[in-house]
Amino acid sequence: MASGEGLEDIVAGKSAISTIDGKRGVLTYRGISIHDLADHSTFEETVYLLWYGRLPKAVELRNFCEQAWAEVRLPKDVVAQLHSLPDDANPMSLLRTGVSLLGLSDPEEGGSNAPEQPAPGVNLIGQLGPEAPGFGPNHPNSKKAVRLLGQMAALVAAIQRLQKHQDLVAPRPGKSIAYNFLLMLTGKEPDEEATRIFDTCLILHADHEFNASTFTARVAAGTLSDLHSAIVAAVCALKGPLHGGANTAVMKMLMEVQDPARAQDWVKDALDKKKKIMGFGHRMYKGEDPRATHLRKMSESLCAKVGRPDLYELSKNIETAMFALKQIKPNVDFYSASVYYSLGIDPELYTPIFAMSRVSGWIAHVLEQLANNRLIRPVADYVGRQDVPYAPLAQR
């Protein structure tokens, strides 16, 4: 493959949000290991970290959660418009339209996109937290951001319930995004373990440097387009099976293979036919994806808990076969499929769930892009014909 194809290894800009060391299997958000965040943090705390550059103090976290949790609901006009959409549509297509509708109904629509300027004499370097110049909590973009974070969870749950012709479920005040999403999706109060596992999934999916959807969001933001437009663009990029769409495809594969004893032959046959095995491989990680380490563990314990140890065994056998035949390891999408399945979630919703977490990273990147914006406009290596004479229509 030609060097630079797919922008491989091209540094496309500066960012201080997350970084990956693909050789050592390290991922950090704002310098903090993903393992520490997965083990000790909450999704809301992680979002604060991504947006404001440092972990919140207790009072800051409480305020942030109060704001975000109050937004886990949809405006009535958006719900009405969602009802009019085809209920057999792909949930990612419905999400794309849903985010667009949220943009139209946002009270800050049309508000300023420009960052706040630092006070004269203020040194921006090292200034972190909502008090730092840029996008303080009262900036229109910050208000949109926190609203969209909560609304995305409500939107993903609503998409599923509308598709099943079920009434929407109201969120419980004072409860986390993870808790309320599971409640709004199933209509049943989730237990503590399910809530914690789902919350950890949200943390693990929140950001990942210049992945395709995040880069798409930054390109849109770089034109000084608005926040919702950048997020719609990101949703479009996430939908494809080479990116976020892979988690749904993994579950379909697990359902097709079914028997753990068939895994080896199935993988070999697929590879012989030059098929891509969904949930495997990564542009950055050549060894273990650190997110997969957590998801593998959660898959093992959850599959056992719900009486489907075979699903974990099947996943493990596919992983073993893939490594033996191709030396390729699972990415974030592989074990998240069996985790979500064990939580009772329909496969078609796995990619929208990825989006409801990643919206936090997309927003962080859009704000970072806008804080120091220059239009993103690379060049093409032109390989087409040159000096072609124009032939009038009658002579072609």
Q: Does 331 bind ligand SDX (CB under 6 A)?
A: yes
Asked if 246 touches ligand SDX (CB under 6 A), the answer is yes
Tokens 């009658």 appear where? 394
- Spell out, one character per residue from 206 to 225, where the chain touches ligand SDX: x when CB under 6 A holds, - when not: --x--x--------------
Q: Please, what is the minimum distance in Å from the beta carbon of residue 255 to ligand SDX?
A: 17
Q: Which of 139, 205, 282, 294 is catalytic?
A: 282
Residues 6+ apart with CB under 8 A from 355: 92, 95, 152, 156, 234, 235, 238, 244
Residue 18 interacts with ligand SDX (CB under 6 A): yes or no: no
DSSP 315-370: HHHHHHHHHHHH---B-HHHHHHHHHHHTT--GGGHHHHHHHHHHHHHHHHHHHHH
Q: Is residue 172 close enough to count as binding ligand SDX by CB under 6 A?
A: no
Within 13 Å, how many C-alpha atoms sit on residue 182's CB side? 23
Q: Which stretch binds ligand SDX (CB under 6 A): 67-75, 169-177, 179-187, 242-250?
A: 242-250
Residue 276 lies near ligand SDX (rule: CB under 6 A): yes
Which two tokens mark 83? 């009802």
Dihedral sign, Cα of residue 186, residue 81, residue 236, residue 73: negative
Residue of 279, 296, 316, 360 that binds ligand SDX (CB under 6 A): 279
Q: Does 277 bind ligand SDX (CB under 6 A)?
A: yes
CA atoms within 13 A on the CB side of 123: 2
CB 227 within 8 A of CB 145: yes
**Which candidate in 106, 226, 289, 333 is catalytic?**
333
Is residue 387 among the annotated active site residues?
no
Based on the residue annotation, tell me whether 282 is a catalytic residue of this protein. Answer: yes
* Residue 242 engages ligand SDX in binding (rule: CB under 6 A): yes
CB atoms within 10 A of CB 264: 16
Q: Which is nearer to ligand SDX, 8 or 193 (CB)?
A: 8
Interface size with ligand SDX, residues (CB under 6 A): 20
DSSP SS3 for 242? coil
Catalytic residues: 282, 333
Chain residues that interact with ligand SDX, rule: CB under 6 A: 6, 208, 211, 242-244, 246, 276-283, 326, 328, 331-333
